[in-house]
Every structure is written in C-alpha cells, then in structure tokens.
Amino acid sequence: MNPTPVPLIPRSLLFGNPQRTSPRLSPDGNYLAYLAPDGNGVLQVWQRTLGAADDRMLTADRKRGIRLFVWTFDGEHLIYLQDAEGDENWHLFSVGLSTGIIRDLTPFHGIQAQLVGLDPNRPHEALVAMNLQDRSRFDVYRLDLRTGAVELDTQNPGNVIGWTADAQLRVRAAQAALPDGGANLLVRGDADQPWEILIQWGPEDEGHALAFSEDGATLYVAGSHHYNSQRALAVNLETREEQVLAQDPDYDCAEFLIHPLRRTVQAVTFIRERLRWQVLDPEIEPDLKQLQAVRSGDCQIVSRDLADRRWIAAFTTDDGPVYYYVFDRGSRNSEFLFSSQPGLEGLALASMQPIRVPARDGLTLHGYLTLPVEAAPRSLPTVLLVHGGPWARDTWGYRADVQWLANRGYAVLQLNFRGSTGYGKQFLHAGDREWAGAMHTDLLDGVDWLVRQGIADPERIGIMGGSYGGYATLVALTFTPEVFACGVDLVGPSNLLTLLETIPPYWKPLRALFYQRVGNAETEPEFLRSRSPFFFADRICKPLLIGQGANDPRVKQNESDQIVGALRAAAIPVEYLIYSDEGHGFARPENRLHFYACAEAFLARQLHGRYEPATEITGHSATVA
C-alpha cells in the first residue's frame, strides 16, 4: 500500500517573499534593520528598537524590492542598492533615519555603483566604485553622506577589478586582471604612493584581498598560490611574509569572521558537505560553542555591533526556514528573533543528503540528493538541477526550488561538476574548456549513478537550471537528447560566440579569464561553435521550456531568442516566456510565481509528477513569445 501523499505546499509559500529576513544590528547595538514586504508585497527595509515592538518601514521602493542594505556609522543613515528592471546598474541610495529622506547618492545614468568601504573612523563618508568615466572600468569616489557630494578618490588604470580600503578609509589594495587570466594583488602605503605588487596569481590560482588590520600593516588575503585550495593568509606588508591562518587541503576558505574594531581574523569557515568553522581566536570559542548548541543547523554570524556585545546568528537548515537569534556575549544568552518563513515550520519538508559520485575519469564529484518525503526511493521521476556560474557551487540548506520539486514527487540531484568552486584549484580548472565536454559528462555520470541505485526512472529524467544551468539544459537536449525527457532553461546562453561578444563592458578586464576557461572567441571560433547548443538546435526532440529576463545584462535576450528562432524554423515546438521587467533571474515574486507555475505544469506533463493547479497570477510581466 502506498503511503498517504504529503499535502502540496503552495507555490505562493515557496516562491513568495520571506516574511522577514536579513536582520542587521546597528553599530551601537540598539536597533535592528531587516527586510520585509510592505502592504503591496514589495520588500522594504524596516527598523525596530532591539527588544521592542516599534517596527517601522524606512524605504519606499515601488516595484522590485530591496535585497542589499547596510548601516552607516554616522547614526543618521542607512544605505541600500537598487537597480532598474533587472539591468544590474545598481545605484546607491541613503535613507535618513530621523528625516525619512531618501536620496540617490549615485544619480548618474547608465552606471553601476559598488560599495567599497565604510568605517567608524570616517563615519560621514563612504567609498564607492563607479564606471562613471568609462563603462568598462570602475574608479573609486568618496561620498559625503551628509551632503551627497561626490569626489574622485582613486582612478582605475584600466584593469583593476576590485578595491580594498584600510581602517582610515584609504584605498590601499587593488586587484588587477592580467592578460593571461591571472591577477596581481597591488598595495600602496597611501594615496600619493605608487602601487607595488604584493602577490602575483597565475591563471591557475585564485585569490583576493579581504581587509587590512587595524594598524594597516597587515593585509588579510584568501589565496591558492603554493597550495591546492584557497587558504586564509595574513601578509606582513613590510616583510611580505605570509602567515597561514587557516587551511584545508581539499576545500577553499569561505567566510572570515573579523573583529569590527580590532580588525583581527577570529574564525574562518570552510564549506565541505556542510559548513565548518576553524576558530583562531580563543576569546570567541566559548561563544561559538554556546551558539551551536542553540538549535540544529549550520550556524553563521551575520551581524555584530561595534562593541562586540551582541551578535546575530543565522541557523540554516535543509528542511525549514532560516532561524535568527540575537546572542548576548556577556550572558551568553540567545534570544529568538524570527524565522524567514514561519509558514514552512512544521511542514513535511525533505532532507538534503550529501553524496559522492565517481566521474568516468576517476574524479570524485560531490553533490546533494533530495528525495520526496512520502515516496519509496525507487524508480522516481527525477530532476537534475544544475547550478549557475559555472564558477559557483551548490551547498547544503533550504532551497525553495529543491523543496518544490521534492514535494511534487521528484528526486532532485544537485551535482557540483568539475569547474565548480570551493573544492580547490585542481577541481576548478579540471573544468577549463570543458563546457559541453567533461562538465556535461559529469552530469551524465550523476544521472547514471542515480539509475544504477534504482532511484531514478530512466524514462522520466528532466534537467533544469539557470544561467550556466540553463546552458547545461540546452547542451543536454542537443548533445544527449536520448538521456532526458525534457528540459527547463532559465536565462541560459545558447551560443558561446555571442555570449562572449556581448558581455557587459565592465567585464572587459575579465575577458582573458573567460577565454582561458571557456575558449578564445578571437582565435578559435569553431571550437566555441562546437560547444554551442544553438548550432545543434535541430537535434532537440524533447520538450523544452525557456524563461528569459528582457533586461539581462549577462545573458542577453538574444541568447534565448536565437535558439527559439532556430527551433521554430525547424518546426520544433518550444515554450518561451519573456519577462519584461527582469534581468538575470526573477526578483519580483509575481514573476517567480508565474514562471514556476508554468514550469510545474510543464514538468507534470512530461515526467508525471504532482502539481498544484494553476491560479490566476496578477502583476506578472510575462509574454508568451
């Protein structure tokens, strides 16, 4: 007898806005800011006095919702980033905490602003990088938070892709891309002194600067030079001596926990199958130990006040929302704040199991398998869910799309194929020039493993993903159409030649990196053609759904348009949805709900999983093209 199916979880709960998320302490520790929807379902920044119930809305975004914000150190402003219709031309806005006045601090058409630094030693200033003079390079500007005045601080010679400021808010480190795909980490003593090379990373290395010490004599760096994985390093700027703070032979360091005033590295995280801490400062070891006993899940410190009296800890689980607590370091008491989505609590959500899969050439692949709660793990309809990037990775923890698929009866496989980050440079560079090559056969090996385990029904396997995952979907349906029953592509490139020709101008310094890892569009166009699904569109014989943001600056709409055009010219059916106010992914909940409703019905038709009947969704911007 089959067990009683668990109830369908509404898509509105899975893909709608969180109830509250991203809490951050004010520098004085007295206030809390967080994201929550307003009465129209648009995410805003809210504020409350810690321990009180005086919540008030600070921002007034009208459509897309705010996702990134930070307190300033002047006690008068909070700042946030926002783009227009998904174009990723981020502007930096300030909110007056007492006046409520909202000001665009970077009111320049067509530019992108990147926050470089804030510091309590210069509380009325901010450093912002903007491509104001040249869209292909970011210079650093000094902003007066009181008046909005903007002054050029540091000019980009043309190849700098990242800046780091010291405790006095002086730009003293820069990462410069090299023609071979490597990078130089540059440092200087002050603004009037010349840049010097501190570390030179070859194209096989990874690395970046993190922060200066309080006295400015040490630079903390993550780097893989002389080692397989990225280590946490402290570099003495006078002697150039490197001290290893934390390392793992197989996994890159992930996040640094740095004291807000002393600027010492106190702990480093590594993401193995799950998140793991390496504690460097014995002062905080009892605090972390106490916190990790509060509840199950992976614990991260997401905010601290300047006095380091209070922390906000986030607990990530695989079968529920994120839970937030305020931790008092004096008493070591934890007070529950809220969870991101209380509606998920108590539901029958699926667990995510770390797995290892051998690739056909002997490389070990890591990933995660999520199975439906109520089903026996035999001959299940299956979705291979491919992450984007590709220089990224899947991690353990709650994901709306994973729980959605598992709740609908699908086994869900997430595989960190070669070229994924986090597993050291040998694994990363095993993916060089392997788009539609070994990166694809890794995915096939994962599918074969599931079939051999008896988990997947070989006749009901779909593939789905966004960005690179969308490309992988198109590759699967053109290069190996016999393996998959259907595919769902979200903002995926179809033609590597046009993808590389149309990268945003501010990615120009990274062109050599793309050529090294993907292929050289100038010298080997035939190679890139051979790895581009567009040129093999006539091989597609399985159902395909494509979703695209009209304003995507990374994967232009033409990437979807051209393969849809080729399919329709060959009388091959394809479902195509274009969202007029979205970019590289869907920020607005109305659009997410519409797309996933269409995807759910599509998968149910092809793989025979469960589905929630579609209801009318108002406010979305989709056009069926």
Best CA proximity match to 338, nearest among 81, 593, 59, 53: 53
DSSP designation for 148: -
Residue type, 6: V
Q: At 128, give phi and psi (nearest 5°).
A: -130, 130
Based on the residue annotation, tell me whether 552 is a catalytic residue of this protein: yes
Q: Would you say residue 528 has pLDDT above 60?
A: yes
Kindly report, residue by residue over 468-520, the tens digit of the pLDDT: 999 999 999 999 999 999 999 999 999 999 999 999 999 999 999 999 999 99
Q: Above 60 in pLDDT, residue 1? A: no
The band of 378, judged by pLDDT with boundaries at 50, 70 and 90, is very high
What is the widest separation between alpha-carbon atoms in the chain? 78
Q: Tell me whether strands 380-386 and 218-223 are parallel, antiparallel or unpaired.
A: unpaired
Axis-axis angle for helices 468-479, 438-452 (nearest 10): 70
For 297, half-sphere exposure in the C-beta direction (CA atoms, 13 angstrom radius) is 21
Question: What would the pLDDT profile of 25-52 be if each residue is shown by its tens digit?
Answer: 999 999 999 999 999 999 999 999 999 9
C-alpha distance from residue 442 to each of 356, 364, 390, 515 (Å): 12, 10, 13, 22
pLDDT of residue 499: 98
- Rounded to 5 degrees, what angle do the CA atoms 478, 367, 422 make? 100
Two tokens, residue 330: 């004096």
Kindly give the pairing relationship between strand 323-328 and strand 139-144. Answer: unpaired
Catalytically annotated residue among 83, 552, 560, 620: 552
CA distance 117 to 489: 37
Q: How many other β-carbons are positioned within 10 Å of the β-carbon of residue 550? A: 18
User: Cis ω on the peptide bond leading into residue 358 (within 30° of 0)?
Assistant: no
Cα–Cα distance for residue pair 325/339, rounded to 1 Å: 9
For helices 589-607 and 400-407, give the axis angle rounded to 10 degrees: 30
Query: Are 371 and 411 contacting, i.e. CB atoms less than 8 angstroms apart?
Result: yes
pLDDT tops 50 at residue 19: yes
Res. 4: pLDDT tops 80: no
- Which of helix, strand or coil describes residue 473? helix
Cα distances from 184 to residues 207, 410, 518, in angstroms, run 10, 46, 22
Residue found under tokens 């890892």: 517
Torsion angle of alpha carbons 115, 120, 121, 127, nearest 10°? 10
Cα–Cα distance, 419 to 436 (Å, whole number): 12
Residue 10 has pLDDT above 50, yes or no: yes
Q: Is 467 tagged catalytic?
A: yes
Q: How confident is the model at residue 615 (pLDDT cuts 50, 70, 90)?
A: confident
Tens of pLDDT, residue by residue over 135-193, are 999 999 999 999 999 999 999 999 999 999 999 999 999 999 999 999 999 999 998 99
Pick the CATH number of 357-624 from 3.90.650.10, 3.50.40.10, 3.40.50.1820, 1.10.357.10: 3.40.50.1820
Q: Which DSSP state fits 608?
A: -
Domain chopping of the chain, boundaries: 163-256, 357-624
Residues in the chain: 625
Question: Model pTM greater than 0.85?
Answer: yes
Residue 357 pLDDT greater than 70, yes or no: yes
pLDDT at 3: 59
Tell me: pLDDT of 623 over 90. yes
* pLDDT in the model for residue 625: 86
Question: Which is catalytic among the residues 224, 467, 494, 560?
Answer: 467
Residue in 366, 584, 594, 620 annotated catalytic: 584
Cβ atoms of 413 and 446 closer than 8 Å: yes
User: What does the pLDDT look like over 238-294, one tens digit per residue?
Assistant: 999 999 999 999 999 999 999 999 999 999 999 999 999 999 999 999 999 999 999
- Rg over alpha carbons for the chain, rounded to the nearest Å, is 24
Q: Tell which residue, 425, 400, 217, 265, has the closest CA to residue 322.
A: 400
- What is the C-alpha separation between 454 and 380, in angstroms, rounded? 9
584 is annotated as an active-site residue: yes
List, for residues 398-426, the tens digit of each pLDDT value.
999 999 999 999 999 999 999 999 999 99
Q: How far is CA 398 from the centre of its chain?
A: 14
Q: Using an 8 Å Cβ cutoff, are 206 and 428 in contact?
A: yes
